[in-house]
């Protein structure tokens, strides 16, 4: 599992609330190098965004480690003006990845040029450490 | 028959409630005073247009985002007492909903005359909500903002790019939308872009903002204040203007909603407009083919291409070709954004689309569709949204 570290975290970086009770398993997993997804253990249905544990069928929910692979469902390439905290990444390729398990999640690419991008491109997860508590799952083209 | 058609409330709304007054201040990059002031001025203009007094008003509906204060506005207008008021969330998703909520309040007897308004100062670069994102993000925002996905152009760009890939929608198709809106604005003295023509070569040469979207795919950033007055058809008949009937109304979040980055609501990654359109037409005696023009929310050009499909003017995937051959320009089969819309008149969360819908039914648009009997006005389809059908008597 590949980890990278943000060397110069901008003081205004929009960090996620990793203590959110619904999302905590996702963020805790990312810190440990696991892409976590929620599944209904009875029907096998995947839920993204995750459903709350007090959902009517909450006792059927479980978090599983996803393979960390998927394909590019759609993407955009941001140019300036952009968020000050991410301006150093421009042109910034943001993606909607369709995970091998089914759900579509938002992410961004790393070490990828815009001209490498295409619909259906197989990708694999990379974990980017922003702080001690926050690790962001991001994506790179899959090495076959 | 759908349950919603059996509802006594919808029967009491349909063609029983009317928009009787509209007004707006001149659109500007810097309007020079706070929205609490401009809201009062715009509402007064709409009341003057209707031939009503502030004492006639007992209800107020507005957008929740960057809202103004009901009692302050009421006091400064001279309203005797408010008996009903309401703030509706999700920015550009909410403008048509102000009419729906006002109509529901009137039909149910909670208010007799409601003023709906939008006042917004967004002309300054520093006023953009996305540029103010910092610190810890929670709830829905944590699903997309940490990766940098927060500018509306990027959020919508995800849908647009997928649409281009899946259906062969081209930049020229998006350009047709921008140019139609601009041509209409060039004939609208109130439009910010009244003196600025736009041709396809200029459109295509513009700088990229968030690929695949470029400068002229994006709406303006405007200071504006707009209002309309809604009351019962019985009262409307005694007033100054030809009543514009509220024929059908709908609001919809779509399933499994996420504010903004709503990419898991269906296998097709539909926008919220699909569900809003379904309700709107179920509740309507009219259909898409009865619309003489359409004001489709246009924060970005692809929302119009997708909106043409979502609201049933063409099949899924045909929104791009639908824009060809002048079909969406004045004189075409379905003129769209006849005031110039958010792209070229003013970007005020789509409230200007409501005013233009009213003008078209009255017959007073500067891009008047001959004998316009019915028009559709929609909200932003990337977020929980709303729509309304206006018709003449």
A123-141 pLDDT tens trace: 999 999 999 999 999 999 9
Contacts of B103 (CB under 8 A, 6+ apart): B13, B17, B230, B246, B249
DSSP state of B76: H
Give which of A31, A46, A78, A107 to mutate to test B binding, by max B Cβ within 10 Å.
Answer: A78
Backbone angles phi, psi at A130, to 5 degrees: -95, -45
DSSP string, B9-67: HHHHHTTTEEEEEEEEPPPBS---S-HHHHHHHHHHHHHHHHT--GGG--EEEEESTT-
The tally of CA atoms less than 13 A away on the side-chain side of residue B128 is 14
Q: Which of A12, A76, A110, A133 to mutate to test the interface with B (most CBs of B within 10 A)?
A: A76
pLDDT at B1: 41
Contact in structure between B18 and B244 (CB atoms under 8 Å)? yes
List all residues 6 or more positions away from B127 whose beta carbon is below 8 Å from its beta carbon. Answer: B121, B221
Q: How far is A83 from chain B (nearest CA, A)?
A: 6
Find how far residue B303's CA is from the centre of its chain: 12
- Residue B390's DSSP bridge partners are B246, B375
> In this prediction, does ipTM exceed 0.95?
yes
Rounded to a whole number, what is the distance in Å from the CA of B210 to chain A's nearest CA?
Answer: 4
pLDDT at B212: 98
Q: Is A17's CB within 8 Å of B263's CB?
A: no
Q: Which among B138, B154, B207 has the least Cβ separation from residue A17?
A: B138
Which residues of chain A make contact with B154, given a CB cutoff of 8 A? 76, 78, 94
Within 179-208 of B, beta carbons closer than 8 Å to A belong to 207-208
Q: Please name which of B32, B50, B39 lies closest in space to residue B232, comparing C-alpha atoms.
A: B50
Distance between CA atoms of B66 and B61, rounded to whole angstroms? 14
Interchain contact, A96 vs B150, CB within 8 Å: no
Contact A106 B147 (CB under 8 A): yes
Indicate whether A144 pLDDT > 90: no
Q: Of chain A residues 82-141, which have a CB less than 8 A from chain B? A: 82-83, 85-86, 89, 91-92, 94, 96, 103-108, 114, 119, 130, 134, 136, 138
Identify the residue among A11, A30, A96 best suited for mutation to test binding to B, counting B beta carbons within 10 A and taking the highest. A96
Contacts of B78 (CB under 8 A, 6+ apart): B53, B54, B55
Q: Do A75 and B161 touch (CB under 8 A)?
A: yes
Taking CA atoms, what residue in A is nearest to B141? A16
Which residues of chain B from 337 to 356 reach within 8 Å of chain A, CB to CB? none
Question: Residues 63..92 of A with a Cβ closer than 8 Å to B: which?
Answer: 73-79, 81-83, 85-86, 89, 91-92
Which residues make beta-bridge pairs with B115?
B60, B229
Strand partners, A74: A96
**B residues 93-152 lying closer than 8 A (beta carbon) to A:** 125, 130-131, 133-151
Residue B347 annotated in active site: yes
Residue B349 backbone zone (phi > 0: left; psi -120 to 50: alpha; other: beta):
left
Task: Indicate the residue of A14, A81, A89 with minimum beta-carbon distance to B137.
Answer: A14
Quick one: pLDDT at residue B22? 98
* A83/B263 Cβ within 8 A: no
| pLDDT profile of chain B (393 residues), mean per 10 | 60 94 97 96 98 98 93 97 97 96 96 97 82 83 96 97 98 98 98 98 98 98 97 96 97 91 89 96 96 98 98 98 98 98 98 98 98 98 95 95
pLDDT of residue B23: 98
Q: Is A20 on the interface with B (CB under 8 A)?
A: yes
Contacts of B127 in chain A (CB under 8 A): none
* The pLDDT value given to residue B6: 54
| DSSP three-state, residue B259 | coil
Distance between CA atoms of B218 and B351, rounded to whole angstroms? Answer: 17
Residue A1 binned pLDDT confidence (cut-offs 50, 70, 90): confident
pTM: 0.96
* Percentage of residues of chain A with pLDDT beyond 90: 90
- Looking at residue B129, its pLDDT comes to 77
């Amino acid at each position: 599992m590949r980890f990278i570290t943000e060397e110069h975290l901008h003081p205004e970086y929009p960090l996620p609330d990793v203590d959110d009770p619904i999302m905590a398993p996702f963020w805790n997993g990312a810190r440990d190098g696991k892409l976590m997804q929620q599944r209904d253990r009875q029907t096998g249905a995947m839920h993204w965004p995750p459903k709350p544990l007090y959902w009517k069928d909450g006792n059927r929910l479980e978090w599983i480690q996803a393979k960390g692979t998927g394909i590019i469902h759609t993407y955009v390439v941001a140019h300036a003006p952009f968020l000050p905290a991410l301006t150093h990444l421009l042109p910034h390729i943001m993606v909607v990845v369709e995970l091998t398990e089914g759900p579509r999640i938002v992410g961004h690419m790393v070490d990828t040029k815009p001209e490498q991008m295409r619909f259906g491109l197989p990708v694999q997860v990379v974990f980017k450490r922003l702080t001690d508590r926050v690790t962001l799952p991001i994506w790179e083209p899959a090495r076959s | 028959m759908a349950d919603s058609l059996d509802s006594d409330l919808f029967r009491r709304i349909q063609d029983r409630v009317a928009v009787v007054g509209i007004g707006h201040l001149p659109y500007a990059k810097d309007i020079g005073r706070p929205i609490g002031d401009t809201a009062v001025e715009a509402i007064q203009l709409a009341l003057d247009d209707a031939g009503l007094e502030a004492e006639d008003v007992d209800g107020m509906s507005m957008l929740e985002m960057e809202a103004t204060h009901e009692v302050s506005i009421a006091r400064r207008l001279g309203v005797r007492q408010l008996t009903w008021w309401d703030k509706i969330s999700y920015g550009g998703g909410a403008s048509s909903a102000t009419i729906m909520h006002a109509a529901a309040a009137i039909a149910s007897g909670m208010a007799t005359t409601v003023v709906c308004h939008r006042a917004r100062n967004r002309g300054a670069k520093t006023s953009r909500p996305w540029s103010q994102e910092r610190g810890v993000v929670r709830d829905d925002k944590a699903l997309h903002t940490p990766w940098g996905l927060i500018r509306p152009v990027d959020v919508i760009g995800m849908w647009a790019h997928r649409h281009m890939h899946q259906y062969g929608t081209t930049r020229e198709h998006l350009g047709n939308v921008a140019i139609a809106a601009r041509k209409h604005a060039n004939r609208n003295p109130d439009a910010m872009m009244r003196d600025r023509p736009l041709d396809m070569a200029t459109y295509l040469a513009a700088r990229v903002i968030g690929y695949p979207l470029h400068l002229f795919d994006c709406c303006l950033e405007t200071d504006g204040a707009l209002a309309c007055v809604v009351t019962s058809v019985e009262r409307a008949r005694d007033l100054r203007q030809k009543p514009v009937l509220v024929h059908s109304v709908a609001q919809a979040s779509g399933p499994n909603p996420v504010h903004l980055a709503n990419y898991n609501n269906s296998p097709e990654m539909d926008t919220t407009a699909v569900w809003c359109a379904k309700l709107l037409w179920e509740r309507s005696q009219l259909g898409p083919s009865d619309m003489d023009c359409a004001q489709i929310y246009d924060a970005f050009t692809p929302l119009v291409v997708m909106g043409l499909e979502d609201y049933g003017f063409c099949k899924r995937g045909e929104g791009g070709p639908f824009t060809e051959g002048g079909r969406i320009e004045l004189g075409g089969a379905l003129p769209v954004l006849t005031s110039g819309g958010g792209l070229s008149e003013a970007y005020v969360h789509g409230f200007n689309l409501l005013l233009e819908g009213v003008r078209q039914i009255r017959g007073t648009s500067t891009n008047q569709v001959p004998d316009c009997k019915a028009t559709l006005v929609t909200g932003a389809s990337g977020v929980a949204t709303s729509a309304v059908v206006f018709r003449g008597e």
